[in-house]
Amino acid sequence: MNPIDALFGRLKAEGRKAFIPFVPAGDPDIAFTRELLPAVADAGASLIEVGFPFSDPIADGPVIQASYTRALGTGLKLADIFAATRATADRPGWSTPLVAMASYSLVYRKGPAAFIDAALAAGLSGAVVPDLPVEEAEELAKLSADKGFGLTLLVTPTTSPERAEKVVKACTGFVYVVSVVGITGERDKLPSGLREMVARLRGLTDRPLCVGFGVSRPDHVREVAAVADGVIVGTALVRKLETAGADRAGALAAARGLVGELGGALEQTPPP
């Protein structure tokens, strides 16, 4: 069984939800990423999204874009990220699934089958491909299903019901539910229509539904976890890592603290 499926199956049986932090690879260098991944896991991450830096992201806000720019400035290569995730997954007792967040340009350039094979060999259980239109996802979806790889695509508040049905059918991992219209970033409150959006998707798929974009505070986590299967936090965590170039220990401590705080909020989630 794919580790993503195993994780969500176990959490469902326990009546719990997944806390999913996003961490960018290679910022300020890949050695820091190798320290960061186990630190985030130990602090309470259920699953970790590993951001593959890309020069032209379509949905990332300024905080994540700046992190990607710093990482690419070091000469970061795809092989470097794969080596870091492999080293992490090889740690004794490691059980936290790792999922790539990667532009389809990176997948296409390597070749979809080759990318999946390399990702699996590197200890990755799946990939979120945020810019892959569902109309062009058939090849990657079939390869993912055949190879036991968890492909995740995005559903947004503006996705039509007909298109949403196609998106969730293409997913072999979880479904990434974008909470707001716009780019990633911290927000004061989440949209009032989120509950209804998740409910509609429940009628289309049995895949886990995980909500991201704008989740940055314990009250956001509790609100999302009341309706979804997982809570994704990106920008709020990446902001804590901005000082890593000058203060690695401080950045690691800040990351642990935020993951512990937000992940702990899941235990306070009221029943839906």
Catalytic status, residue 196: no
What pLDDT sits at residue 247? 96
- CA atoms in the 13 A half-sphere facing the CB of 112: 17
Partners of 49 in the β-ladder:
22, 99
d(CA 241, CA 36): 10
Which member of 29, 60, 165, 229 is catalytic? 60
Q: For residue 213, what pLDDT is reported?
A: 83
pLDDT, tens digit (0-9, with 9 covering 90-100), for 226-252: 999 999 999 999 999 999 999 999 999
Instruction: Write out pLDDT tens, residues 22-70.
Output: 999 999 999 999 999 999 999 999 999 999 999 876 666 789 999 999 9
Select which of 5, 27, 29, 49 is catalytic: 49
What's 59's DSSP letter?
Answer: S
E strand intervals along the chain: 18-24, 48-51, 98-101, 124-128, 150-152, 154-155, 175-178, 209-212, 230-233
pTM of the model: 0.93
Q: Mean pLDDT of residues grouped by 10 in the chain (272 residues)?
A: 96 96 97 98 98 81 91 97 98 97 96 98 98 96 98 95 96 93 48 86 97 88 93 94 95 96 81 50
The pLDDT assigned to 114 comes to: 98
Q: Which of 166, 161, 160, 155 is nearest to 228 (CA)?
A: 155
Average pLDDT, the chain: 92
49 is catalytic: yes
Give domain 3-265's CATH superfamily: Aldolase class I (3.20.20.70)
- Residue type at 31? A
